Structure 1
Amino acid sequence: MQVVDDHVEVTETEASSGVKGQGVRYVLAISLLAVIIVLSAIWIIPALLNQ
């Protein structure tokens, strides 16, 4: 971290030193799976009832 004139400059590593979560990946996968199941049920159930 460096103080330059009237502001502070930090490196990319210092700026992103927090823990980066992996939760977004799991939310996306679970949501995609849920949408596929729901849309499949919406399509398959009426098709089975109309036979």
Structure 2
Amino acid sequence: MAGVEAFAGIYRHLLEEVTMATQRHGQIIETPTEARQAEPGPSVLALLSVSTGLAILILGIVWFVFFRT
């Protein structure tokens, strides 16, 4: 049963780590980690730009090879 007790301790620790946004004086207060969770950042923009550019290039090559008359 030591495994179950260890799991219960880890689960309890994880529950203590999870905090919800609180509201004080009409403003929502969040930790820095909570505030940053939905920000994709510039790397996502670069990934989308490169993948879109490659898709256009590949479709252009396919069109040029197979559908050019």
| TM-score (norm. length: structure 2) | 0.44
CA distance in 2 between counterparts of 1:9 and 1:36 reads 43
Tell me which of 53, 57, 60 is aligned to 1:33. Answer: 53
Q: Unpaired segments of 5 or more residues in structure 1?
A: 1-7
Is 1:16 aligned with 2:29? no
Shift of 1:13: 5.8
Count matched residues: 41
Q: Unpaired segments of 5 or more residues in structure 2?
A: 1-18, 22-28
Structure 1 vs Structure 2: percent identity of aligned residues?
A: 22
CA distance in 1 between counterparts of 2:36 and 2:58 reads 39
What amino acid is aligned across from residue 35 of structure 2 in structure 1? Answer: S
| TM-score (norm. length: structure 1) | 0.55
Question: Does the C-alpha gap of structure 1 residues 44 and 25 become closer, same or farther in structure 2, counting only changes over 3 Å?
Answer: same
Give the alignment's Cα RMSD to 1 decimal.
2.7
More helix by share: 2
